[in-house]
Amino acid sequence: MKILFHLCPFVSSAMIGLLFTCPLTQAQQQSNVGAPEQEAVTPGPVTRPMVVEIAPNTYFINEFGMNAMYLVIGEKRALAIDAGTGFCDFKGIIESLTKLPYDVAITHGHPDHVGGIGQFDEIYMHAADTAMTHIPYEQRVQYGEIMRNMNIGYKNVWDYTKENVTKYTKQPKIKLLSDGQVFDLGGRQVTVYYCPGHSPGECTFLDDKSRILFSGDAANGNVGTRMAVSTTLRYLIRLQQLRTEYDQMYNGHIAYAGTMDVFSQKPQVLDDVIEAFRSLLRGDAKTEVVKNHLFPERTQTVAVYGVARVGFDPDKMWEEGEEHIVP
């Protein structure tokens, strides 16, 4: 694994407040154990996004602990996955890593994944999330402040402030993603697997060359669903069944909140998320009331199984009229 610190000075920007829950994997939570708690938040020493080659021609780009973007480079084209919150010159980073033409595909419409789309002329995303792409500047600032002051992780790792928030003057043209769509990059193909739950338009991306599944926020250890639990579960089971086609899963929040570890999410996380949702449908879930880590004044009830904690809407366990057979 090669770690490069990108040479461009970062420009920055930020993102939104709102009701979404940023994911924190159990492994990431564990990696925070022993991290010093710091009351005073001072900008840290790292002024540039972290860029790591996680497989040949496959890059992880960490945007100041807020989220993880990826760049997959083939022989003829490249594919960027997610655009981040917009705190950094992601376009400049992509173009420093490849001279090939490239597409930008978004896993889902939450602000820490679409906030940076104003840098690009066009992006791909699923139709169900396209209404979520207009993110006011103030909300991006707010998101950065929440992240910087969040009471987990190492707070003083990243040096970014609201002064770095970039104001975009345009919205990109949106092209629609669909389940089964293939990005042929030349010598490697990336296939889209729709996986709604965390958001209605969530998509994951399976790269046949690196055998990595880029899973966005579909299935980390602290995921919630706004959709029927039964539907969410079916799509997650499909990801589990695809496991013969991938060896690693990189989600949208690797190296979250000041942790500097760059690793694949363990298969157990997806398995436990599935079991947690299953237990809700069976009616024997172990539940807990937890604080939202982004908004500590808010609490939510989650189902717990192994390393997973899953949020759900008690009024949306099944689709309307659906037979209650646990998948």
Residue 7 or 19: the one with the smaller Cβ distance to Zn ion is 19
The answer to whether residue 217 forms part of the interface with Zn ion (CB under 5 A) is yes
Residue 57 or 85: the one with the smaller Cβ distance to Zn ion is 85
* CA 75 – CA 55 distance, rounded (Å): 15
Residue 27 or 97: the one with the smaller Cβ distance to Zn ion is 27
Least Cβ distance, residue 196 to Zn ion (angstroms): 12
The answer to whether residue 293 forms part of the interface with Zn ion (CB under 5 A) is no
* CA 199 – CA 197 distance, rounded (Å): 5
Residue 136 or 186: the one with the smaller Cβ distance to Zn ion is 136
Does the CA dihedral 217-165-48-122 come out positive or negative? positive
Residue span binding Zn ion (CB under 5 A) among the ranges 29-37, 170-178, 215-223, 224-232: 215-223
Least Cβ distance, residue 108 to Zn ion (angstroms): 6
All residues at 6 or more sequence positions from 202 whose CB lies less than 8 Å from its CB, including other chains: 107, 108, 126, 129, 194, 195, 196, 216, 217, 218
Residue span binding Zn ion (CB under 5 A) among the ranges 3-11, 86-94, 110-118, 260-268: 110-118
Tell me the site size for Zn ion, rule CB under 5 A: 2
Least Cβ distance, residue 47 to Zn ion (angstroms): 26
Residue span binding Zn ion (CB under 5 A) among the ranges 42-50, 107-115, 173-181, 256-264: 107-115
The answer to whether residue 126 forms part of the interface with Zn ion (CB under 5 A) is no
Least Cβ distance, residue 198 to Zn ion (angstroms): 6
The answer to whether residue 110 forms part of the interface with Zn ion (CB under 5 A) is yes
Nearest residue to Zn ion by CB is 110
Distances (CA, A) of 284 to 56, 224, 281, 299: 44, 18, 8, 21
In degrees, to the nearest 5, what angle opens at C-alpha 224 toward C-alphas 29 and 41?
40
Q: How many Cβ atoms are within 10 Å of 240's Cβ, its own excluded? A: 13
* CA 230 – CA 200 distance, rounded (Å): 14
Of 180, 222, 178, the residue nearest 26 (C-alpha): 222
Residue 140 burial by Cβ neighbours in a 10 Å radius (0-12, 13-18, 19+): buried
Least Cβ distance, residue 23 to Zn ion (angstroms): 7
Question: Contact positions toward Zn ion, by CB under 5 A?
Answer: 110, 217
